[in-house]
């Protein structure tokens, strides 16, 4: 259970951090053609963060917040986005966001094999939704 909660907490953290970075990009200004796409993706990431948070165990001796922490892969993928604060770098922003979405999708697909059995049904459902949403978010960036 601890391993599952740790993984889920890291997924929650990654989605929250991506949401935070997108919020920063939108606050500092961005290309008007890119802004609606970023707002949409930002909203989707908030929904997924909330979904992962709901999957965390509710145990008095193990508070949920203790599990919401970065994992090495997520930190590495998101680091490229952190330095892109200049709105002129829209192409770089799109490339970095694509890379993060690919990394998230890959991580979700790898975890599908672990989330098995009746007890993992809600996690498997959330994984399926996260994979679908991540792929659709990636597709939103394709014409840009």
**Predicted pLDDT at 42:** 98
**Predicted pLDDT at 131:** 97
Q: What is the DSSP string of 68-118?
A: ----HHHHHHHHHHHT---GGGHHHHHHHHHHHHHHHHHHHHHHHTTS-SG
Over its C-alpha atoms, the chain yields an Rg (Å, rounded) of 15
Whole-prediction pTM: 0.87
Range of the domain at 100: 2-141
Comparing 9-23, 32-46, 93-107, 114-128, the range with the smallest average pLDDT is: 114-128
pLDDT tens per residue, range 11-34: 999 999 999 999 999 988 788 888
Number of domains in the chain: 1
Most confident of the following: 2-11, 17-26, 54-63: 17-26
Model confidence band, residue 45 (pLDDT cutoffs 50, 70, 90): very high
């Amino acid at each position: 259970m601890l391993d599952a909660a740790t993984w889920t907490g890291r997924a929650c953290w990654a989605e929250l951090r991506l949401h935070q970075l997108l919020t920063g990009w939108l606050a500092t200004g961005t290309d008007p053609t890119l802004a609606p796409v970023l707002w949409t993706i930002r909203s989707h990431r908030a929904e997924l963060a909330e979904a992962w948070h709901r999957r965390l165990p509710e145990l008095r001796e193990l508070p949920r917040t203790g599990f919401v922490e970065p994992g090495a892969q997520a930190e590495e993928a998101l680091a490229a986005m952190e330095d892109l604060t200049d709105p002129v770098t829209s192409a770089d922003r799109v490339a970095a966001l694509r890379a993060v979405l690919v990394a998230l999708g890959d991580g979700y697909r790898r975890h599908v094999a672990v989330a098995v059995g009746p007890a993992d049904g809600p996690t498997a459902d959330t994984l399926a939704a996260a994979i679908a949403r991540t792929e659709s978010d990636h597709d939103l960036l394709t014409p840009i």
